Every structure is written in C-alpha cells, then in structure tokens.
Amino acid sequence: MQERPVYLDLTKIRLPMSAFSSITHRLSGMYVFFITLPMMLYMIDQSISSKASFERLLIEITSISAFSIFIFLSIAIFWYHILTGIRHLIMDFFHIGESLNGSYYSSIFTIVLWIATSLVFFGYLFI
C-alpha cells in the first residue's frame, strides 16, 4: 500500500488563475455579507437619523482617515465580487470562456479591470 501524505502543504499547490478567481469571489462574498453590508446599513442609519450625524459621516468619509480607507476598500471588494459574479454568469449562461485558456484570460481581464476601475474610483475621490 502506498503512503499517503500526512498533511497538505498549501504553499506547494499552484492554483490556476480561474480557481484563484473563483475562491476570491467566494471570500469576497463572505466579506460583503459580514462586513460591508452591516457597515453600509450603519452608514444609512447615520445619514438619515439627523442632519448633524449626516454631516459628521460626510466629513469622516471625505477626509483621508482609517475609516474612509476602510469604507473604500470595502466598496472595492464589493466591486470585485460584482465583476467576478458577472464573469461567472457569462461563463454559465453564454458558455463564453469555459475552456482552460478562456477561463484564464477572463479571470486576468476581470482582475485587471477591477484594479483599473478601483484606482480610477479612488483617484477621483481623493483628488
């Protein structure tokens, strides 16, 4: 009988780009559900409770602080989740990019598009 490995060394496994995209899509979904959604609900509550709390929230968001960076990173993760979800829907419904090369290039395109649009979004907000 052949000896089986005792442990699985995750640093030795080289995932395909499409698997990386799929795993990060699931992780970003959990982040959106547990972090971004409650944060956005809190921000909506603060923005409609009174004029003073709305103005305080507006100052916190527009100034460069840990809170505003956390908000913008959460929005970027939400945007990544949307883009990778659209990629998966295109693959599932239209059968575009289902081959190994197609899934590789579509995941690269999705990540590059996410980085470029996030940088434009952050640059526009902080200028």
Q: What is the pLDDT of residues 50-69, one digit of tens each?
A: 999 999 999 998 888 899 99
What span, in angstroms and rounded, lies between the C-alpha atoms of 88 and 25? 10
**Side-chain half-sphere exposure of 72, counting CA atoms within 13 A:** 20
pLDDT the model gives residue 120: 92
CATH code linked to domain 18-126: 1.20.1300.10
Q: Which one-letter DSSP state was computed for residue 97?
A: S
Ranges in the chain, pLDDT < 70? 1, 5, 125-127
Counting Cβ atoms within 10 Å, is residue 107 exposed (0-12), middle (13-18) or buried (19+)?
buried
Query: What end-to-end distance do the CA atoms of the chain give, in Å?
Result: 65
